[in-house]
Amino acid sequence: MADSLSSRSKPELISLVKELQKTNGLLERKAIWLKSLIRNSTGQNAELYIVELLNGMPSTKNDGHDVTVRGGKRLEVKGADINIFRNKGSINDGRRWTWHNFLGVGGAKTYDNLILVGEIDKNYIKDYKDKKSEFVIFDIPFEWAKDFASRKKTKIFTLHLQTKITGSRGIHLREIWQFEVTREALISKYKVK
């Protein structure tokens, strides 16, 4: 390549340098964007999934919710991959979803419904309502989410739910399964026409 550069004129080299600087700037911006996706990809993927499924409008930063749908309903969307954890007193590992900050930092968020999106656990697909979905979806009223959070002793709004319906300990965690919905039910309730 050095030989091909030495045969170029000064204006050609200046033009090439400018082109390379422009390409480098684009690559740097793309790298920053990709790093932000990696850092929060599960949540962003869940939001994009719900926006597309419901033809919703993504919110702007600091709106207090993630998506606006039919009738101006405000949805907070949280996504979770399956996490493996050690069951106490068992030789088997457990599988669960973990959703963080569903009320925002310090509990400041307000919205109409909390949509929890969890990666499907193929071990229990027969037990889920939407057997053809790649996700298990919960549609939880804001008041229930707020009440659930108020029962916790800390102000860290994290929810752990085992992927096996009968595996969830505690009455409050088992209650969440009443809010499991199919994609069709979610579309029927919220989709913007």
Q: pLDDT tens digits for 66-120?
A: 999 999 999 999 999 888 877 666 656 678 899 988 888 777 788 999 999 999 9
pLDDT reported for residue 54: 95
Percent of the chain with pLDDT over 70: 80
Mean pLDDT of the chain: 83
pLDDT reported for residue 67: 92
pLDDT reported for residue 24: 77
pLDDT reported for residue 4: 76
pLDDT at position 1 over 60: no
pLDDT reported for residue 125: 93
pLDDT reported for residue 2: 55
> Mind listing the pLDDT tens digit for each residue in 21-38?
878 776 766 565 555 544
Nearest CA to 76 among 96, 106, 100? 100
Model confidence band, residue 153 (pLDDT cutoffs 50, 70, 90):
low
